[in-house]
Chains A and B, each alone.
Chain A
Amino acid sequence: MATINWKKLRKAVFSKTVYRGTASIAVLLALWELGRWLRMPILGAAPAPSEVIFLLREIVFAPDFWENWSASFKRVLTGFVAAQIIGIPLGLAMAINRVARDTAFPVLEIMRPIPPLAWVPASIIFWPTTESSIAFVIFLGAFFTVVLNVLGGARDIDVRYLRAARSLGSRPQDIFFKIVLPATLPSIFTGMAVGMGITWEVVVAAEMIAGKSGLGYLTWSSYVGGNYPLIVIGMISIGIAGYVSSSLIRLTGKLAAPWQRLF
């Protein structure tokens, strides 16, 4: 049963860290607003926070704004989940099987340095719809990170655990499911968290190039349409969306590997 520790919560909310963080954001916003008012170079051209907030009050009630959120989230989720479904088993297979490792590693190492965005033209040609080509580019963004993290994590398992497991009478499937998999779990989640970050970078850029919806498209089309406050709203939305996604992964990772929290 989870009960909220109010004393602890109050301490966390009214801590010096929170106070300093709030103060630094407030100072940033004040300087920005002031810069706009005084027509300072660079800042003078940007929309002021007050303008952004003014627009935000209208836009949070506009359905198309939220449609852009959901469009980006759907793409991220599709590509990301596909990267996990293919990447995690591949990484594990490469870790435990020499033939798989020797076969797959050179190909991966040639493909990996190609930035996901360099795949955009090719994938638009090869995939039937724009949507599927964007999902593919997102998939690539997360895929290599996931494979390499899983492979590294599974290869780094302390030989003492494997020896102990063998001595205690494990069959090969016990070694895999009860030793290799849980020992690799933290690396899997590290790969997911890093992969998620890359995924948001890629989705935004892909939407700017080829999208008809999404937060990246929103930001770019606002620029084209000259709606400057909306650019800022698009940017902040992307930041929040990325933060929420990686927080969810970190939380899941903590729940899935409870022994890790105890350090």
Chain B
Amino acid sequence: MTHPVEAQMAVEAVSKSYEAGLRQRVVLDGCSFMLEKGKLTVLIGPSGCGKSTLINIMAGYEKADAGMATLEGRPVGEPAADRLVVFQETALFPWMTAFQNVAYGPRVQRKLPDKEVEARTMELLERVGLQDFRDKYPMQLSGGMQRRAELARALINQPKVMFLDEPFRGLDAMTRELMQEYYLKLYEGSQQTTLFVTSEIDEALLIADTLLIMTNRPGRIAKTLKIALPRPREPKVLTSQAYLRYKEEALEILHEEAVKAFSGGSKAAVDFLEAYADRDQAHS
């Protein structure tokens, strides 16, 4: 039995370019994809391929030159609490405690009584393991705790779609792994429609339902992979045969893209190509 796929959000032929001196720099060119309701879609691509621009357009911070982003079939407008972004670096308000940060959305939206807001905030803080740090300022929290507080600040609004823009970048390797496991549990408990942007292939495959592979600039989707690994997912999935096949396939596509970018004059692709060549040698 197959269910019809329900698109919560879609990006339809979006193009965007910026002025770079006298020339136009095309960042996105006819980029299309969709986010399935309740699913975790991961977008992966080389650095500078327009991932952040895409999120800015979907969240409403920027306008597309052509094409559009739609939420439940309607074009998106101004930024709103139904589409929330968790940024690359922490954007917690430094002058508010963890509790005040998480409670901020419901408080300014004024849809719930104060008591209810407080109860929900505490519940969210507990879910991300920060109940003992409710009165700490962001500066007093570790990098991992800041990321968790930020996830809680977004989740409390029950957005229709959540965007995570390389949320674990800048964390040390150990914390990053812990955060990935943490995030997996959080997602699997909430089934929140999510677009997760990353440049790490292992992180992408560990958490994704759908993997979107993006091309080098001008960015569009090169390939959509359905990741049919079982849930709840455990880090040990990283050693399974199925996982390795997905990884092989994804790397193949990323490699093709890097070759194209390299012949197009991109210096950013060199590192990837060198690493890929080393890997091939190690295999044989």
Main secondary structure of the interface of A (DSSP, over half): helix
A223 at the interface (CB under 8 A from B): no
For B78, give the chain A residue with the smallest CB separation.
A166
Distance between Cα atoms of A170 and B84 in the complex (Å):
13
A51 at the interface (CB under 8 A from B): no
What residues on B are CB-neighbors of A174 within 8 Å?
A: 108
For A168, give the chain B residue with the smallest CB separation.
B105
Question: Residues 224-263 of chain A: 1 if any B CB is under 8 Å from the residue's CB, otherwise 0?
Answer: 0000000000000000000000000000000001110011
Given the known inter-chain contacts A183-B95, A258-B137, please indicate yes or no for A168 contacting B104, CB distance below 8 A.
yes
What residues on A are CB-neighbors of B79 within 8 Å?
A: 163, 166-167
For B163, give the chain A residue with the smallest CB separation.
A167
Docked-complex contact A164 and B80, CB < 8 angstroms: no
Apart from A259-B95, A259-B138: 10 A-B pairs, beta carbons within 8 A: A160-B87, A163-B91, A165-B93, A165-B108, A167-B83, A168-B109, A169-B80, A182-B95, A262-B140, A263-B139
Q: How far is the CB of A190 from chain B (nearest CB, A)?
A: 15
Docked-complex contact B108 and A259, CB < 8 angstroms: no
Interface size class of B (residues with CB under 8 A): 20 to 34
For B105, give the chain A residue with the smallest CB separation.
A168
For A167, give the chain B residue with the smallest CB separation.
B79
A66 at the interface (CB under 8 A from B): no
**A–B pairs, 7, beta carbons within 8 Å:** A163-B61, A164-B91, A165-B108, A167-B59, A169-B157, A183-B95, A262-B140
Docked-complex contact A185 and B81, CB < 8 angstroms: no
B89 at the interface (CB under 8 A from A): yes
What residues on B are CB-neighbors of A257 within 8 Å?
A: 95
A98 at the interface (CB under 8 A from B): no
B170 at the interface (CB under 8 A from A): no
What residues on A are CB-neighbors of B78 within 8 Å?
A: 166
Docked-complex contact A160 and B137, CB < 8 angstroms: no
A171 at the interface (CB under 8 A from B): yes
Report A156-193 residues with CB < 8 Å from chain B CB. 158, 160-161, 163-171, 174, 178-179, 182-183, 185
Question: Residues 70-93 of chain B: 1 if any A CB is under 8 Å from the residue's CB, otherwise 0?
Answer: 000000001111011101010101
Distance between Cα atoms of A252 and B155 in the complex (Å):
36
B94 at the interface (CB under 8 A from A): yes
Which residues on B are within 8 Å of A, measured CB to CB?
Answer: 59, 61, 78-81, 83-85, 87, 89, 91, 93-96, 104-105, 108-109, 137-140, 153, 157
Distance between Cα atoms of A163 and B87 in the complex (Å):
10
Docked-complex contact B139 and A168, CB < 8 angstroms: no
Distance between Cα atoms of A31 and B175 in the complex (Å):
60
Q: How far is the CB of B166 from chain A (nearest CB, A)?
A: 14
What residues on A are CB-neighbors of B153 within 8 Å?
A: 168
For B95, give the chain A residue with the smallest CB separation.
A182
Which among A179, A183, A259 is the interface contact of B137 at CB below 8 angstroms?
A: A259
Q: How far is the CB of B152 from chain A (nearest CB, A)?
A: 12
Most chain B CB atoms below 10 A, which of A165, A169, A182:
A169
Which among A161, A262, A263 is the interface contact of B91 at CB below 8 angstroms?
A: A161
Given the known inter-chain contacts A161-B91, A161-B93, A259-B95, please indicate yes or no for A168 contacting B137, CB distance below 8 A.
no
Docked-complex contact B94 and A259, CB < 8 angstroms: yes
Docked-complex contact A169 and B81, CB < 8 angstroms: yes
For A186, give the chain B residue with the smallest CB separation.
B95
Distance between Cα atoms of A263 and B138 in the complex (Å):
11
Docked-complex contact A167 and B95, CB < 8 angstroms: no
